[in-house]
Structure 1
Amino acid sequence: MDLNRNNERGRPRQEERLQKVLAQAGIASRRHAEEIILQGRVKVNGEVIRTLGTKVVSTDRIVVDGRLLSIPQNDYAYYLLHKPTGYITSVTDPQGRKTVMELMPKIPRRVYPVGRLDYDTSGLLLLTNDGDLAHRLMHPSYGVEKTYRVEVGEKIPEQALKRLEKGVLLEDGKTAPARIREVSPKGRGSLPTYEITIHEGRNRQVRRMFKAVGFPLSTLKRLRFGPLELDPSLAPGAFRTLSKTEIQHLRRAVKLT
């Protein structure tokens, strides 16, 4: 695509990769934005773009699925949602299942989930239109930690706990070392409860780890994501905006200043 990248004074305009611009505009995560481009759903100045890495400037006319893209300038939104079970972590679902976006119908800006929580998993979910931050939070090289609370049907022996800590072999490779501790409540009828902290983000990883050592989970809930913690007072299905301090801590965690 041959675009004039100079302004009327002859200075080059600021260029950005197209998939990054789509992510920053809240269209999708950067990875999903690449899929949208490859599917031929994006036009720049009237031309269908299918090449990843195509660069655009702020004056380019970008259309996605027939809709003109409005590129925000430093107009980011950040939300912390207490995801309940029974919802999928997606913007839309072809199968018609309930999505987490249905819990946030009146927010002023379009955002998307950072990472995933399974249909049967509850807890802390971050949603934003800050593409750079979302990309880094999900990238394994930044080692962002996630802490989950799990309940199992019986007490896990020390040997199995050590296997979880050292890493267990799954069908997609051995997991990285994890931290785990028992936090079982006192009293009759309570299920053995543990907290596990990992920094990977494989599909259904925590469930698969416990199943691999012979202890399938009864419940799974995410309590922490990087520096963010789930508010005890935030009811399932409720959400709130992040504070400036929380946003700064998140950006520092992935070396964004």
Structure 2
Amino acid sequence: MERLQKVIARAGIASRRKAEELIIAGKVKVNGKIVTELGVKVSPSDRVEVNEIPIEREEPVYFLLYKPRGVISSVSDDKGRKVVTDFFADLKERIFPIGRLDYDTSGLLLLTNDGEFANLLMHPKNEIEKVYVAKVKGIPSKENLKKLEKGIQLEDGKTAPAKTKVLSIDKKKQTAIVELTIHEGRNRQVRRMFSAIGHDVLKLKRERYAFLTLNGLRAGEVRELTPHEVKQLRAAALENGNKKSKKG
């Protein structure tokens, strides 16, 4: 037996908090009866409807994909381009990406059918670290990298402090490879951060997500997360969120 709001969240309908609001508003039925109490628990055999639509309750699954360049981080594309779920053609569960990587960005992307888990990892206060390796035009100065480390003003607000590390410099081609660690997930954020200090990104790859890496995978390959990894990710997000709450 599980709490009703958790079942709704796991189905990807809404976050747990939003699910609670839907229950209180009388938008949820269990076995044909409207439920407005938050303490209600349901079993796998119970029929749950949200806004008159039955929810399908699948076993939660969790995957790590090495996303190649030229693939959309979505479950469909109106232009007919390749999407990340195309790599899971034989999977019966309906999965979706946790966050996104740009069309031209490769690297580590998580996918799941567990809406509550996805919301937990994507919530800004839970500060999951993401490590990117960027090949940039020009050689960034220490002063400019310091701007990224302190947080830089973009059109949608100032970024949180980042970590930077220059991995290599090619003076002849006037390019550099820089590692950037952030915990936000704004649209095209890494590219915009480098652009703000005068360096266009030529190539970008996400190497790490929390403690997860691409070790053993080639572009386009997938592996399932272990139950221990899922537990660790959930614990890391909750721990970071609790620390932020205490500071606040």
TM-score range, shorter chain: 0.7 to 0.9
1:216 equivalent among 200, 217, 236: 200
Does residue 1:71 correspond to 2:54, yes or no? Answer: no
Deviation at 1:97, TM superposition (A): 2.3
Q: Find the counterpart in structure 2 of residue 127 from structure 1.
A: 111
1:239 equivalent among 216, 222, 233: 222
Contact 1:88 1:118 in 2 (8 A): yes
- Summarize deviations over 1:24-57 as a string: whole Å, max 9, x none: 13x56749x98xx9xxxx985799x9xxx9x894
Segments ≥4 residues shifted beyond 3 Å: 20-23, 27-31, 42-47, 55-58, 63-66, 185-191
Q: Percent identity?
A: 44
- Matches of 1:65 and 1:230, distance apart in 2: 42
- Matches of 2:160 and 2:167, distance apart in 1: 22
RMSD of the alignment, in Å?
3.2
Counting only pairs closer than 5 Å after superposition, residues 85-164 of structure 1 correspond to structure 2 as 85-164=69-148
Contact 1:147 1:224 in 2 (8 A): yes
- Summarize deviations over 1:74-97 as a string: whole Å, max 9, x none: x22111000011111111223332
Q: Find the counterpart in structure 2 of residue 8 from structure 1.
A: none
Q: Find the counterpart in structure 2 of residue 24 from structure 1.
A: 10
SS of 2:108 mapped into structure 1:
strand
Does residue 1:182 correspond to 2:170, yes or no? Answer: no
- Matches of 1:112 and 1:252, distance apart in 2: 21
Contact 2:136 2:176 in 1 (8 A): yes
Cα pair distance change 1:123/1:145, threshold 3 Å: same
Residue correspondences, number: 226
SS of 1:207 mapped into structure 2:
helix
Cα pair distance change 1:227/1:214, threshold 3 Å: same
Q: TM-score, normalised by structure 1?
A: 0.76
Q: Find the counterpart in structure 2 of residue 252 from structure 1.
A: 235
Contact 1:151 1:217 in 2 (8 A): yes
SS of 1:182 mapped into structure 2:
strand
Deviation at 1:107, TM superposition (A): 2.2
What 5-or-longer segments of structure 2 have no aligned partner?
A: 240-248
- Matches of 1:238 and 1:118, distance apart in 2: 18
Q: Which amino acid aligns with 2:195?
A: K
Q: Find the counterpart in structure 1 of residue 246 from structure 2.
A: none
- Matches of 1:229 and 1:244, distance apart in 2: 16
- Matches of 2:91 and 2:157, distance apart in 1: 40
Deviation at 1:247, TM superposition (A): 1.9
Contact 1:28 1:112 in 2 (8 A): no
Deviation at 1:98, TM superposition (A): 1.7
Q: Which amino acid aligns with 1:60?
A: R
Q: Which amino acid aligns with 2:234?
A: R
- Matches of 2:4 and 2:228, distance apart in 1: 28
- Summarize deviations over 1:139-194 as a string: whole Å, max 9, x none: 01111110000001221111111111111100111111000001117797694101
